[in-house]
């Protein structure tokens, strides 16, 4: 059975590309002039003109991609699929009407799986690293880089960005998301997608919504109140949409309060299309369509990759009147309107070589801005290369590369996986999703380059005693600790795997100058925190991780990153101390079927009997939970150290339609640095909110001794709550306290105002 699954998965992987990209991408443009070629017309008018010329079959064709069965067959020799760059993300266009093919790619951290077609794409650091920079301008730069590479590889639709809230820190896809706060995540995703859209790409927000764990994702039922959903997960999507005008939303696998996300009229129509005013189209997550009539009526516009719910069954439902023709035309209109609005009709991609050097520059800059210095006792960092004679580099395959997150967002490693898995593991049909992939950016080499006169030696860390012996004979010991994450699985625990805690303890006991560099997708537990001199959170560092980490360790870069998530002291402190695991299937359960999915894909989906994930913490997501429950944490949301120090003073709050929060930040140290100053609000008691919510921030560059007065605008919407009774947002009357400081738990300035 396993052998058959392995062969099937190999076939699936091989068929990600059904043909080599030609000099000009077919199906992308037409030299013929149509009435709707007139760019002075609105996207809506142009879409309506096309629809009038379409047959029913042509309309249906735009609503579903190739079925899973296509992936298991040999590549077709003719027909629309020969135009597909990846059949996993392809909608055939209508050449006679000049309607382009939709060529889709995952792109959270760069164009995924480009290596399967012999092409290069830049592997960026993880989304948590991007979020840790707290830098909208950098997010726009990241989006510009991704957009150029998406186009260069022939794609015209980007399947990112992901902004699910981190309600469950053991979620295997934490690294794909932008933290636990909706304002931070929505703002950064919005700027990233705004940049991509400016390059004439259809952009997408996912996974909509409350898709906050991956284990059993196709059967889990997310139970949550409307208010909690509106003020957390949905708010992040709303902010991102407002800032980016994204063309698509990807609905998720899970149920929401008993109804599948891809056939949920509340989230798809009432909220997304009416409340948010979304004019684009809703596409299902791959294999996430569970019905025809219910999904179409609820607001789903396109199914992928083609369970055939929107193929022949939809045509039959339209002909019988179960799905009104007006609704079918609305589905088609939304897709065509988005194609015109995004610019893919008028400015299709042209084959080009990615700008590799620019990609490397952005990747390194992102990692340097996203690295978070968590501990630095007695000024252990930055290291003085001239004074150090010997350095022990230990563990984490630091002699080979840096780890990355797995699954559909995996960017193909240039030159192949730097740490190939054992052959028996590589043959596992789920290897692509579950086995760690390392990019060939070697921390050992980066450290050697910064300390050319020091003896730098490596130990793999597999034997704590041997590692401790090397550490004891060295001036400094740098331990690289890794925790792999991937789509298709959740972590059993956020503790470091493979006895790395024992390794760190042994090294720290042998050398008081022990530095730990953590490469992880999210929070990790640190039982050794009091025994090491310094801790650096490097996330999944990307293709230039080695250079960025070395620059921070040796002080060429002064770290400025701040945590976009809380690091808890213990899993006992989580809202759900025990992970909500899917139940095992038995004879008493009817296991939901993922229609047509081949074995490995079905396995990856985590098929199990339906079960509930009750998010009874409600509004208390991330730092709001720890604040409300008065729980101590390892490191709070918004936390991050620097090689200099900052002082806050002079708070002045001027209320209004947009409240102005002004204050002064001074660099009180001896090094230039950048401080991310954060503004939080405490609402009146009658609002029933957690103690604090993030309402704004600004990043300030300061020379040694320099002071700057800054103003952070706080719009009224950031102070509102969602009222379920009126199904609307409102500002509660009463006293509001604005707080300013360096993290969610370091807020020295505060002033109260009334609304």
SS (H, E, C) 310-375: CCHHHHHHHHHCCCCHHHHHHHHHHHHHHHHHHCCCCCCCCCCCCCHHHHHHHHHHHHHHHCEEEE
Q: Which of 718, 730, 716, 670 is nearest to 694 (CA)?
A: 718
Block residue for tokens 């990692």: 367
Residue 117 has what pLDDT?
73
Q: Which of 4-8, 421-425, 487-491, 675-679 ranks highest by mean pLDDT? A: 675-679
Residue 211 has what pLDDT?
95
CA 151 to chain centre: 20
Residues 185 and 170: their CA atoms lie apart, in Å, by 18
Q: Is 288 exposed, middle or buried (0-12, 13-18, 19+ CB in 10 A)?
A: buried
Q: pLDDT, tens digit, for every residue of 22-48? A: 445 555 555 689 999 999 999 999 999
The neighbouring-strand residues paired with 482 are 519
Give me the residue spans of the domains in the chain. 362-572, 644-754
Residues in contact with 266: Cβ distance below 8 Å, sequence separation at least 6, in sequence order? 226, 256, 257, 259
Q: Which of 487, 467, 291, 492 is nearest to 393 (CA)?
A: 467
Average pLDDT over residues 685-714: 98
The neighbouring-strand residues paired with 420 are none
Spell out where 405-460 has E strands: 437-439, 455-459
Q: Nearest 5°: phi and psi at 119?
A: -115, 155
**Average pLDDT along the chain:** 92
Provide the token pair at 496: 């470091």
Numbers of helices and strands, H then E, in the chain: 22, 29
Fold topology of 362-572: Rossmann fold (3.40.50)
Do 544 and 360 form a contact (C-beta atoms < 8 A)?
yes
Answer whether the bond into residue 207 is a cis peptide, omega within 30°. yes
Do 639 and 526 form a contact (C-beta atoms < 8 A)?
no
Residue 21 binned pLDDT confidence (cut-offs 50, 70, 90): very low
Q: pLDDT, tens digit, for every residue of 123-149? A: 999 999 999 999 999 999 999 999 999
Residues 329 and 314: their CA atoms lie apart, in Å, by 12
Is 433 a residue whose pLDDT tops 90?
A: no
Q: Which of 489, 573, 477 is nearest to 523 (CA)?
A: 573
Residue 599 has what pLDDT?
44
pTM: 0.94
Q: pLDDT, tens digit, for every residue of 355-385? A: 999 999 999 999 999 999 999 999 999 999 9
Q: pLDDT, tens digit, for every residue of 305-322? A: 866 899 999 999 999 999
Phi-psi region of 110 (alpha: psi -120 to 50; beta: other; left: phi over 0): left
What is the per-residue DSSP string for 56-70? HHHHHHTTB---HHH
Phi-psi region of 646 (alpha: psi -120 to 50; beta: other; left: phi over 0): beta
Q: Nearest 5°: phi and psi at 429?
A: -65, -20
CA quadruple 582, 585, 591, 595: dihedral positive or negative? positive
CATH class of 644-754: mainly beta
Is 10 a residue whose pLDDT tops 60?
A: no
Block residue for tokens 């380059």: 449
The neighbouring-strand residues paired with 647 are 666
Residue 600 has what pLDDT?
44
Residues 700 and 505: their CA atoms lie apart, in Å, by 37
3-state helix, strand, coil in the chain (%, to 5): 35, 20, 45
Average pLDDT over residues 167-176: 96
Residues 598 and 596: their CA atoms lie apart, in Å, by 6
Residues 392 and 457: their CA atoms lie apart, in Å, by 5
Cα-based angle 596, 597, 602 (whole degrees, multiple of 5): 140
Residues 226 and 238: their CA atoms lie apart, in Å, by 15
Residue 23 has what pLDDT?
43
Cα-based angle 360, 365, 366 (whole degrees, multiple of 5): 100
Q: pLDDT, tens digit, for every residue of 549-603? A: 999 999 999 999 999 999 999 999 999 999 998 888 665 555 554 544 544 445 4
Do 165 and 112 form a contact (C-beta atoms < 8 A)?
no
The neighbouring-strand residues paired with 64 are 303
Q: Which of 396, 473, 468, 479 is nearest to 439 (CA)?
A: 396
Kind of pairing between the strands at 514-519 and 476-482: parallel
Q: pLDDT, tens digit, for every residue of 632-666? A: 999 999 999 999 999 999 999 999 989 999 999 99
Residues in contact with 580: Cβ distance below 8 Å, sequence separation at least 6, in sequence order? 168, 213, 215, 220, 611, 612, 613
Strand order in the sheet with 390-394: 372-376, 534-537, 514-519, 476-482, 390-394, 455-459
Do 702 and 681 form a contact (C-beta atoms < 8 A)?
no
Do 97 and 509 form a contact (C-beta atoms < 8 A)?
no
CA distances from 715 to 277, 293, 469, 658, 731 (A): 20, 41, 57, 4, 11
Do 620 and 629 form a contact (C-beta atoms < 8 A)?
yes
Q: pLDDT, tens digit, for every residue of 62-91? A: 999 987 666 555 555 567 888 888 878 999
Residue 70 has what pLDDT?
67
Longest dimension (CA), the chain: 81
Spell out where 440-572 has E strands: 455-459, 476-482, 514-519, 534-537, 567-568
Q: pLDDT, tens digit, for every residue of 319-340? A: 999 999 999 999 999 999 999 9
Weakest-pLDDT range from 406-415, 422-431, 741-750 = 422-431
Weakest-pLDDT range from 6-20, 494-508, 510-524, 567-581 = 6-20
Block residue for tokens 């470091």: 496
In the chain, % of residues over pLDDT 90: 83
**Rg of the Cα atoms in the chain:** 26
CA quadruple 25, 26, 27, 33: dihedral positive or negative? positive
Residues 618 and 623: their CA atoms lie apart, in Å, by 13
Residues 425 and 422: their CA atoms lie apart, in Å, by 5
Provide the token pair at 484: 């792999």
State the alpha helices, DSSP H only, in 605-752. Answer: 623-628
Cα-based angle 535, 536, 542 (whole degrees, multiple of 5): 155
Q: pLDDT, tens digit, for every residue of 380-405? A: 999 999 999 999 999 999 999 999 99
Is 17 a residue whose pLDDT tops 80?
A: no
Residues 274 and 196: their CA atoms lie apart, in Å, by 25
Cα-Cα end-to-end distance for the chain: 66
Block residue for tokens 């789903």: 300
Spell out where 446-550 has E strands: 455-459, 476-482, 514-519, 534-537
Residues 403 and 397: their CA atoms lie apart, in Å, by 9
Do 351 and 24 form a contact (C-beta atoms < 8 A)?
yes
Residue 66 has what pLDDT?
84
Residue 584 has what pLDDT?
80
**Of 607 and 713, more confident:** 713
Residue 79 has what pLDDT?
79
Do 682 and 737 form a contact (C-beta atoms < 8 A)?
yes
3-state secondary structure of 293: helix
Residue 26 has what pLDDT?
53
Residue 258 has what pLDDT?
97
Kind of pairing between the strands at 646-654 and 658-667: antiparallel
Provide the token pair at 134: 């707290």
Do 525 and 633 form a contact (C-beta atoms < 8 A)?
no
Residues 435 and 85: their CA atoms lie apart, in Å, by 25
**Of 19 and 446, more confident:** 446
């Amino acid at each position: 059975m396993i052998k058959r699954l392995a062969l099937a998965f190999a076939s699936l992987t091989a068929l990600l590309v059904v043909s080599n990209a030609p000099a000009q991408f077919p199906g992308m443009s037409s030299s013929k002039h149509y009435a709707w070629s007139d760019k002075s017309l609105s996207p809506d008018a142009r879409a309506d003109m096309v629809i009038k010329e379409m047959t029913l079959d042509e309309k249906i064709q735009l609503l579903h991609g190739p079925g899973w069965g296509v992936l298991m067959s040999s590549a077709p020799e003719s027909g629309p699929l020969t135009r597909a760059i990846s059949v996993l993300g392809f909608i055939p266009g209508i050449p006679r009407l000049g309607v382009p093919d939709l060529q889709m790619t995952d792109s959270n951290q760069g164009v995924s799986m480009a290596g399967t077609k012999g092409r290069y794409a830049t592997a960026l650091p993880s989304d948590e690293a991007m979020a840790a920079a707290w830098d909208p301008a950098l997010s726009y730069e990241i989006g510009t880089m991704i957009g150029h590479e998406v186009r260069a590889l022939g794609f015209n639709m980007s399947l990112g960005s992901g902004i699910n809230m981190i309600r469950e820190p053991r979620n295997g896809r934490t690294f794909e998301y932008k933290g636990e706060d909706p304002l931070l995540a929505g703002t950064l995703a919005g700027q990233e997608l705004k940049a991509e859209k400016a390059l004439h790409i259809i952009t997408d927000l996912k996974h909509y919504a409350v898709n906050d764990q991956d284990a059993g994702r196709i059967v889990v039922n997310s139970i949550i109140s409307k208010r909690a959903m509106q003020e957390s997960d949905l708010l992040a999507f709303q902010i991102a949409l407002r800032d980016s005008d994204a063309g698509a939303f990807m609905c998720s696998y899970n149920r929401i309060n008993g109804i599948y996300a891809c056939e949920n009229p509340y989230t798809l129509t009432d909220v997304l299309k009416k409340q948010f005013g979304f004019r684009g189209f809703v596409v299902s997550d791959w294999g996430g369509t569970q019905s025809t009539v219910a999904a179409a009526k609820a607001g789903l516009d396109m199914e992928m990759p083609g369970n055939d719910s929107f193929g022949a069954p939809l045509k039959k439902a339209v002909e019988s009147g179960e799905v009104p023709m007006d609704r079918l035309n609305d589905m088609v209109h939304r897709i065509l309107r988005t194609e015109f609005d995004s610019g893919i009709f008028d400015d299709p991609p042209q084959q080009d070589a990615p700008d590799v050097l620019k990609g490397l520059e952005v990747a390194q800059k992102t990692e340097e801005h996203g690295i978070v210095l968590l501990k630095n006792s007695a000024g252990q960092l930055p290291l003085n290369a001239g004074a150090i004679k010997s350095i022990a580099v230990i563990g984490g395959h630091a002699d080979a590369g840096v780890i990355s997150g797995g699954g559909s967002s995996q960017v193909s490693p240039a030159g192949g996986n730097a740490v190939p898995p054992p052959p028996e593991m590589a043959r596992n049909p789920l290897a692509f999703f579950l086995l760690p992939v390392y990019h060939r950016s070697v921390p050992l080499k980066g450290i050697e380059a910064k300390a050319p006169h020091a003896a730098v030696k490596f130990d793999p860390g597999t034997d704590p005693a041997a590692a401790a012996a090397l550490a004891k004979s060295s001036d400094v010991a740098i331990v690289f600790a890794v925790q792999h994450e991937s789509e298709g699985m959740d972590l059993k625990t956020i503790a470091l795997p493979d006895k790395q805690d024992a390794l760190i303890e042994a090294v720290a006991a042998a050398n008081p100058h022990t530095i730990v560099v953590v490469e992880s997708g999210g929070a990790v537990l640190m039982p050794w925190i009091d025994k090491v001199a310094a801790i650096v959170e490097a996330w999944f560092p990307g293709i230039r991780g080695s250079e960025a980490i070395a620059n921070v360790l040796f002080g060429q870069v002064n770290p400025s990153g701040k945590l976009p998530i809380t690091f808890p002291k213990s899993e006992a402190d989580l809202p759900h101390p025990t992970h909500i695991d899917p139940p095992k299937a038995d004879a008493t359960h009817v296991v939901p079927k993922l229609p047509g999915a081949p074995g490995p894909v079905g396995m990856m989906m985590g098929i199990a009997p339906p079960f509930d994930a009750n998010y009874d913490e409600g509004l208390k997501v991330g730092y709001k939970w720890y604040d409300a429950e008065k729980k101590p944490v390892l490191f709070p949301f918004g936390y991050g150290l620097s090689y200099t120090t900052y002082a806050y003073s002079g708070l002045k709050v001027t209320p209004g339609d947009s409240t102005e929060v002004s204050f002064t930040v001074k660099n009180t140290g001896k090094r230039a640095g950048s401080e991310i100053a954060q503004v939080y609000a405490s609402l009146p008691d009658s609002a029933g909110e957690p103690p604090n919510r993030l309402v704004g921030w600004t990043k300030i560059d300061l020379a040694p001794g320099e002071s700057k007065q800054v103003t952070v605008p706080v719009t009224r919407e950031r102070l509102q709550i969602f009222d379920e009774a009126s199904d609307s947002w409102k500002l509660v009357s009463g006293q509001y306290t604005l707080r300013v400081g360096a993290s969610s738990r370091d807020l020295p300035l505060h002033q109260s105002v009334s609304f």
